[in-house]
Amino acid sequence: MPPRSRTSTGKAAKAESAAKGLRLRKPKAPDIHDIVVVGAGLAGLAQARMLQQRGFTIHLIDPRERDSLRAPSADRRATALTPASVQLLDLPVDWLAAKGQRIESIVVDAGLAPALSEDEALRLSSGAWVVGNADLYAFLVEHTVLDGRFGQAVTGSRVEAGRRRLTMASGDPVEARVVVAADGRNSILRREDGIQRQQQDFRQIALTGVIRHEDPHAGRAFQRFLHGGTFALLPLPADDGGEGHASSVIWVEPSASAKGLFALEPSILTERMQSRFGDALGRLSKTDNEDWGQFPLLAHSCDRIIGERLALIGEAAHSIHPLAGQGLNLSIRDAAALTDTLMEQRHYGLDPGDAQALERYQRARRAETARMTGLTIGLNSLFSRPGGPLRAAAAVGLRALDQMGPIKALLEREARR
């Protein structure tokens, strides 16, 4: 037999050495925490802030780098935060005064007439605050302790030895007694746990942006229920202490007709908006396209919002039609309910990821989420119909509510939740 060459002998030695190294190398021990929040969006940061304010230590995970969270957000949308949400987030009065606009009243119109008439509309008191999503996000980033894994994505999840183990793209696992999934409508944690999602496509597109108007809004929000979709204005803070001549627009149209709207000349698009809204605020003028965006309207719910040592919040758990303006407020109340559950467990020295505790959280959120989902789907279906008896009856009913004190008070209470 011919002798082996030095080259082949050297390769064999290296291979044997590498194999030995692999056998001796131990897998890295996972980071272990009590509570991990996956997702540093608005819902995730709201959850982290609430828990940190109550003395919990939170480990945050987000695929974005930490510094990118502090960069100015491109989100041009605004949200009407209910008084309850303002309180739950503990937003300072001086910050609200500087960044927000209080809604003094909500003018609701059934859209039967060509233009909105405040004399014919339902007027609700509110007390909500309109805040830009970018401003709210910047506040939460500044006032939340950003400890955790950033620039790393979760790729898998399983339960073992009484903890939920998260597989990271980096290869270094993270374990927690309870994991909060705030990773959005396409949640990988929801999918990995086998939670089923039921989705509804409204076949509508929402255009969002900023409109300027000739007359001051005086803190009024407007909502017109039109054939095809709703047209809503949220009052924005006045520039330099002025009277308030800008509002955030949420303009919903059927997908087929909405696709060409952005291609229109600004003047023509403005005229379309003027015809949808009327002259309750005088002449309208559209801002630059960079302040505008569009997104398809989808709603979803889940057969459950908990798993073993797992709780879903925000859009990981649900999303609703924006006509009620309650999407983010629902997410904030998710975070508040889960905070209450975890505080109760801590008070009695119990496991934060206990199955019965998470079931209490699910029960606390199920009824309200179902009610709000049903309300938005029903209203959108009813008022999006072409003219006819049902739509006319809805319009008459809306006007009649203005004369029905107890029912009107109930609607106003919902607007403050």
Residues 79-121 pLDDT 10s: 999 999 999 999 999 999 999 999 998 888 876 555 555 555 5
Residue 184 has which token pair? 């959005």
Domain boundaries, the chain: 33-416
How sure is the predictor about 157, in pLDDT bands with cuts at 50, 70 and 90?
very high
Residues 236-264 pLDDT 10s: 998 766 789 999 999 999 998 887 887 88
Which region among 221-235, 266-280, 285-299, 359-373 has the lowest average model confidence (pLDDT)?
Answer: 285-299
Residues 16-48 pLDDT 10s: 555 454 444 455 677 899 999 999 999 999 999
Alpha-carbon gap, residue 14 to 128, rounded angstroms: 69
Instruction: Tell me the residue type at 42.
Output: L
Residues 303-313 pLDDT 10s: 999 999 999 99
CA–CA distances in Å: residue 10 to residues 5, 7, 15, 24, 112? 9, 5, 9, 21, 87
Of all residues in the chain, the percent with pLDDT exceeding 70 is 80
Fold of 33-416: FAD/NAD(P)-binding domain (3.50.50)
DSSP of 94-138, one letter per residue? HHHHHHEEE--EEEEE---SSS--TTTSEEEE---EEEEHHHHHH
